[in-house]
Amino acid sequence: MAVLEIKKFPADVLKQKALPVEQIDKDIQKLIDNMIDTMYDAPGIGLAAPQVGVSKRVIVVDINSLEEDSEPVVLINPEITDTDGLIESEEGCLSVPECVAKVKRAEKVVVKGLDRDGKDVRIEADGLFARALQHEIDHLNGVIILDRISQLKRELYRKKISKKMARVQR
């Protein structure tokens, strides 16, 4: 398959709500395969279609990506149906490089969606898996890590990126 370009903040596609997948066809299957390759190449533990420039509700997650026999979880049109608890932990994002921040998220989640074959899936997750699912589903809703941190930290990151972009343009 192919490794796709990961869109970086402030790309417009990252701020848009992704469209539902109406039909799981060969294009969606190819997108899924390419997203998995891209996630492993990055390396990351999750990736949402908007992060590769595709406004579709598709995510891939593999919190054990460093293990040889690990299988990625593929979810199409996922939605969180239940949450429990609240925990704050450090998070990073492939689309927001050099930003690691403490983010509050549900400790446990229940997520439903479709697998790559179109079968209904219901996942109960906690710990890192729950965090990764919430993070990737945020991307489908146009929410990025910067939207989950304090305004001060967000502004500091934006200034850092602006300076970096100005240096590149010189």
Which CA distances in Å does 158 have to 2, 89, 123, 140, 169? 31, 22, 35, 22, 16
pLDDT at 74: 98
State pLDDT tens for residues 92-137: 999 998 889 999 999 999 999 999 999 999 999 999 999 999 999 9
Q: Is 136 a catalytic residue?
A: yes
Catalytic residue among 67, 90, 107, 136: 136
Q: Which CATH architecture has domain 12-169?
A: Alpha-Beta Complex (3.90)
CA 76 to chain CA centroid, Å, is 13
Query: In this predicted structure, what is the pLDDT of residue 170?
Result: 65
Q: Is 143 helix (H, G, I), strand (E, B) or coil?
A: coil
Provide the pLDDT for residue 154. 81
pLDDT of residue 161: 77
Phi and psi at residue 141, to the nearest 5°: -100, 10
Q: Which residues of the chain have pLDDT under 50?
A: none
Predicted local confidence at residue 66, as pLDDT: 65
